[in-house]
């Protein structure tokens, strides 16, 4: 494989030079359209603004917003000056945000007003009570000693004390071209450009450090697999803050000069209308998103004839859904990408040249430049073809590590450079991989990674609860749902709704258990280890989820 040895800034600069009038962005739900030249100039102006605020190389800029122009501008502005862009999940609440800002050593937080039931301004003001008395968003708080600046993005006026994003361009005029270009030239593609937070078995999120080289080349492979080109238009309805949005969508597009049509957040009717209006040739989504469109009563009203390709990923892809997307949405070249955030994120992929059977029943072959194999989880020995084992990968795409967590990094990446994914897979005689389960007990609900330990840790703080185990149970709609098995303390009472309300008030909505079951004991091994797989089996019986459990996926 011939790697792209360029930074994000250089890739955009090349597009601005070689295809100045080519479409970069046409947002589907707001008046924002930019050519590559216009976008390059805009991100340079904002990059200077961050320099004027004192952002140095390697310092962190966190972004808490939906799919907005400011999100995209901040990503590339940060990349041009060697800052690290930290993505924040739009569903976060106070506890999760404060942890991320602290653990990442964030210097600047850029944020919007709020999203759905989350009042971002209220949450940030709760964490930083003196912010409302601030001048231009300058903050100093012992709880977050590294945080110096809070910036408000959006069409509304900035709340009291905040600096408005629109002022960055004026601030940047104090930075000379020479000063900016010196900084720009100092950035190398082996430096960290993005940190994505993913939870682990400890229950505490970890900052996955990804370099320009990681994500640019992963995006190049993905765009190649879809035969992307400047004539394509990719509708982006998956969140920018996930690797799905950032790499599978944005990086795949910029490495092929493909125009992007982002939408603030996924909703079936606006997304179908955008495909029709902007004649998009590609769309990405988790299975849940496609199912919601296919089953929408207004589905027939929209024209999908422009669609050609796209990706279904993020959680196991039901074979029947893949077939319906091919037949009813004209996505005859739809593909699957498989991997994890620590791998930038893609390791394997089906491509447009694969047969439909391969594209619906497997997760494809290894990316060029990425070694993949199946090993015995206990011994590390490579497994014979066709036998299940742990999927491990090695190559240009593997993260630099977890931020400030060397032990966790050493557990994930062995001494020979292999990333241990915790996924159980098989490989056939032609090199196609199929996912058959997970060693780790992570739950994937509609594309959101949920780590039971994190929910368990919170539930343990409730005074009525003696013990708790959280498992994933099968779901036709989301792939998996969260179920909490709870042992109450003697003499205590609690309802299912009280458990859900407590989680809902303190954690992101996708972590709220769909089901709660109060039990007297958990199934255990002879050595006392809790058998979560037995709890899952019990749940299938109790909730009568046999049909969902038998859905075939790739």
Task: Tell me which H or E stretch contains 64.
Answer: strand 60-64
Residue 356 to residue 350: CA distance in whole angstroms: 10
Specify whether the CB–CB gap between 100 and 86 falls below 8 A: yes
Specify whether the CB–CB gap between 392 and 372 falls below 8 A: yes
Q: 282-285 and 333-335 as β-strands: parallel, antiparallel, unpaired? A: unpaired
Residue with tokens 């971002």: 120
pLDDT at 527: 47
Residue 251 to residue 389: CA distance in whole angstroms: 31
Specify whether the CB–CB gap between 482 and 514 falls below 8 A: yes
User: In three state form, how does the secondary structure of 297-310 look?
Assistant: CCHHHCCCCCCCEE
Q: How far is CA 27 from the centre of its chain?
A: 20
Burial readout 411-424 (b: 16 or more C-beta within 10 A, e: otherwise) = ebbeeeebbbbbbb
pLDDT at 529: 63
Note down pLDDT in tens along the chain; length 554 residues: 889 999 999 999 999 999 999 999 999 999 999 999 999 999 999 999 999 999 999 999 999 999 999 999 999 999 999 999 999 999 899 989 999 999 999 999 999 999 998 999 999 999 999 999 999 999 999 999 999 999 999 999 999 999 999 999 999 999 999 999 999 999 999 999 999 998 644 457 899 999 999 999 999 999 999 999 999 999 999 999 999 999 999 999 999 999 999 999 999 999 999 999 999 999 999 888 998 999 899 999 999 999 999 999 887 777 788 889 999 999 999 999 999 999 999 999 999 999 988 988 899 999 999 999 999 988 999 999 999 899 999 999 999 999 999 999 999 999 999 999 998 899 999 999 998 767 767 788 888 878 787 898 789 889 999 889 999 999 988 889 999 999 999 899 999 999 999 999 999 999 999 999 999 998 875 546 678 888 989 999 999 988 888 877 77
Specify whether the CB–CB gap between 482 and 474 falls below 8 A: no
Residue 158 to residue 22: CA distance in whole angstroms: 33
CA dihedral angle for residue 288, residue 291, residue 292, residue 297, rounded to 10 degrees: -170
Domains and CATH numbers, the chain: 8-206 (3.40.50.12780), 211-438 (3.40.50.12780), 446-549 (3.30.300.30)
Reading the block at residue 111, the tokens are: 């944020």
Long-range contacts of 294-300 (CB under 8 A, 24+ apart): 294/321, 294/324, 294/325, 294/328, 294/329, 296/268, 296/269, 296/272, 298/269, 298/272, 299/272, 299/328
Task: Tell me which H or E stretch contains 198.
Answer: strand 192-198
Other CB atoms within 10 Å distance of the CB of residue 303: 12
Whole-prediction pTM value? 0.85
Mention every residue, 6+ apart, whose C-beta is less than 8 A from residue 407: none
Reading the block at residue 249, the tokens are: 């969508």
Residue with tokens 């020479």: 178
């Amino acid at each position: 494989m011939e790697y792209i040895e360029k930074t994000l800034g250089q890739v955009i600069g090349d597009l601005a030079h070689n295809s100045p009038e080519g479409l970069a962005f046409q947002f589907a739900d707001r008046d924002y359209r930019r050519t590559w030249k216009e976008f390059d100039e805009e991100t340079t102006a904002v990059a200077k603004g961050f320099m004027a605020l004192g952002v140095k190389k390697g310092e962190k800029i966190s972004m808490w917003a939906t799919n907005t122009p400011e999100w995209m501008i901040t990503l590339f502005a940060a990349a041009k000056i060697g800052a690290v862009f930290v993505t924040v999940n739009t569903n976060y609440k106070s506890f999760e945000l404060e942890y991320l800002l602290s653990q990442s050593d964030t210097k600047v937080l850029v944020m919007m007003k709020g999203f759905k039931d989350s009042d971002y301004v209220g949450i940030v003001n709760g964490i930083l009570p003196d912010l409302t008395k601030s001048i231009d968003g300058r903050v100093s708080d012992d709880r977050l000693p590294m945080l110096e600046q809070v910036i408000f993005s959006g069409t509304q006026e900035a709340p009291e004390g905040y600096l408005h994003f629109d002022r960055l361009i004026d601030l940047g005029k104090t930075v000379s071209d020479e000063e900016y270009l010196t900084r720009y030239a100092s950035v190398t593609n082996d430096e960290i450009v993005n940190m994505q937070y993913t939870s682990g078995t400890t229950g505490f999120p970890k900052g996955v450090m990804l370099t320009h080289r990681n994500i640019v080349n992963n995006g190049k492979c993905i765009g190649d697999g879809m035969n992307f080109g400047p004539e394509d238009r990719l509708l982006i309805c998956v969140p920018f803050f996930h690797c799905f949005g950032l790499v599978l969508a944005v990086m795949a597009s910029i490495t092929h000069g493909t125009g992007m049509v982002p939408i603030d957040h996924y909703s079936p009717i606006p997304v179908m209308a955008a495909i029709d209006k902007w004649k998009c040739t590609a769309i990405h989504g988790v299975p849940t998103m496609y199912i919601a469109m296919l089953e929408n009563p207004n589905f027939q009203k929209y024209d999908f004839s422009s669609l050609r390709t796209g990706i279904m990923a993020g959680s196991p892809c039901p074979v029947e859904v893949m077939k319906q997307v091919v037949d009813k949405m004209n996505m005859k070249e739809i593909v699957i990408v498989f991997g994890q955030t620590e791998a930038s994120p893609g390791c394997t992929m089906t491509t447009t040249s694969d047969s439909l059977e391969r594209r619906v029943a497997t997760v494809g072959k290894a990316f060029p430049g990425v070694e993949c194999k199946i090993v015995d989880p206990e011994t590390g020995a490579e497994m014979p073809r066709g036998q299940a084992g742990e999927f491990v990968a090695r190559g240009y795409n593997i993260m630099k590590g977890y931020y400030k967590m060397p032990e966790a990094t050493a557990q994930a990446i062995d001494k020979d450079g292999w990333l241990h994914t915790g996924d159980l897979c098989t490989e056939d005689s032609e090199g196609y991989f199929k996912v058959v389960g997970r060693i780790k007990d992570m739950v994937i609900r509609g594309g959101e990674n949920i780590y039971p330990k994190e929910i368990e840790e919170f539930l343990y703080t409730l005074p009525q609860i003696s013990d708790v185990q959280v498992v994933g149970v099968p779901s036709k709609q989301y792939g998996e749902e969260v179920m909490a098995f709870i042992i109450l303390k003697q003499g205590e009472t609690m309802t299912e709704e009280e458990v859900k309300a407590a989680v809902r008030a303190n954690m992101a909505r996708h972590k709220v258990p769909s089901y709660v079951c109060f039990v007297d004991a958990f199934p255990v091994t002879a050595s006392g280890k809790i058998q979560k797989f037995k709890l899952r089996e019990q749940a299938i019986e109790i909730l009568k989820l046999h049909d969902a459990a038998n859905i075939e996926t790739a």
